[in-house]
Amino acid sequence: MEFLINSGVWGTMFGVPHVVADNFLKLATSDQIKVLLYILRYSGRMITDEEISRNTGVPLSDVTDSVMFWQQVNVLGSKDYQNTSAHIPVQSDVSDELSPDINKNNTPRQKQVLKPSEISDIINSSSDISELFKIVEFLLGTLNHTQQNSLIWMYNYLGLKKEVILILIQYCINIDKTNSGYIEKIACSWAENEINSLESAQEEVQRLTQFNDFTGIIMKKFEMNRRPTTKQGEFISQWQSEGFSPELIGYAYEKTIEQINKLSFDYINKILLSWKQSGYTTVKNVRDAEQDYKMNKKSTRNSSDSSDVDKYKVVINKF
């Protein structure tokens, strides 16, 4: 087959590091390639995850994972990258080492892209890693180079125990997020927070599962069609920690729609905190207070005393 290049488009080009074509065309997924090309096209200006997702068709969660992948192989700089409104610098000099991360002592570690022969030597020299590979291959199927490198990095450099890594991977399988970047992100958090025993890992998975279930209920009540943003997730985590019931949160959502006709996590949060300050912990508590207000308002309709109105504003909807 012969190919004819349209030379008319060469006046508007952007560069792609040669290491991408040399080393990652097989390893990177199509979504990861799409995300990288978009970032390279608009290198030098602020780019958000949402913009990348909107213009590439890659799901928002996969955009974050894809950026993390390119950071880990040192094609993109990671120092200034954040999940939103991030300026993503492109590394012009790509080496064999990956971006620095943390190990079990919270000290910087350089992560290496191991050659297949090096991976083979490590597997043969470590019964733990050999067993880890066999179990993960049973769970995920044949491992690609990125997955193999990731498992060794979590074990050798983050210092996570074999059984902890297996619990983490099983959790990611359960929530259908087995991208190496996503797994490594959680692994870093676990290492940093010293979650490195069978008991602590199981407790953390239980906490994460409960949060995911709680988030799913809130999404349904809020009629949300996409996963919450990082900031919205922080609100949901706070509400769960405060002990607000889904029913009370749903009622605060209804009040928010009545007041401003749109979903606002900040507005809902202020309503919930106001109710908590007033001692209202259930929907019934709030409705009883509203009913009392209506009755008091009716009895004082012809009175100049506005204390009940002021009280209601303070108790029910003070922002």
In a shared domain, residues 73 and 127: no
In a shared domain, residues 167 and 224: no
Q: What percent of the chain has pLDDT over 70?
A: 77
Q: Is residue 278 part of a domain?
A: yes
Higher-scoring residue by pLDDT: 129, 85: 129
Q: Is residue 205 part of a domain?
A: no
Is residue 102 within 8 A of residue 188, CB to CB? The reply is yes
In a shared domain, residues 215 and 311: yes
Cβ burial of 80 (10 Å; 0-12, 13-18, 19+) is: exposed
Which has the closest alpha carbon to 221: 238, 236, 205, 241? 236
Q: Is residue 202 part of a domain?
A: no
Q: Is residue 166 part of a domain?
A: yes
In a shared domain, residues 262 and 299: yes
Give residue for tokens 């012009």: 92
Question: Of the candidates 65, 95, 125, which is a domain's last residue?
Answer: 95
Q: What angle do CA 260, 262, 263 make, to 5 degrees?
A: 120
Q: Which pLDDT belongs to residue 72?
A: 64
Phi, psi at 58, each rounded to 5°: -85, 130
Q: How does pLDDT run across 76-115, given as a tens digit for each residue?
A: 764 444 433 333 444 333 333 333 334 434 433 456 788 8
pLDDT higher than threshold 60 for residue 6: no
Indicate the number of domains in the chain. 3
Q: Which pLDDT belongs to residue 85?
A: 35
Question: Using CA atoms, how far apart are residues 78 and 71, in angstroms rounded to an integer?
Answer: 6
Positive or negative CA dihedral for 308, 246, 211, 200?
positive
Beta strand ranges found along 152-265 (DSSP E): none
In a shared domain, residues 310 and 228: yes
Domain that holds residue 77: 14-95
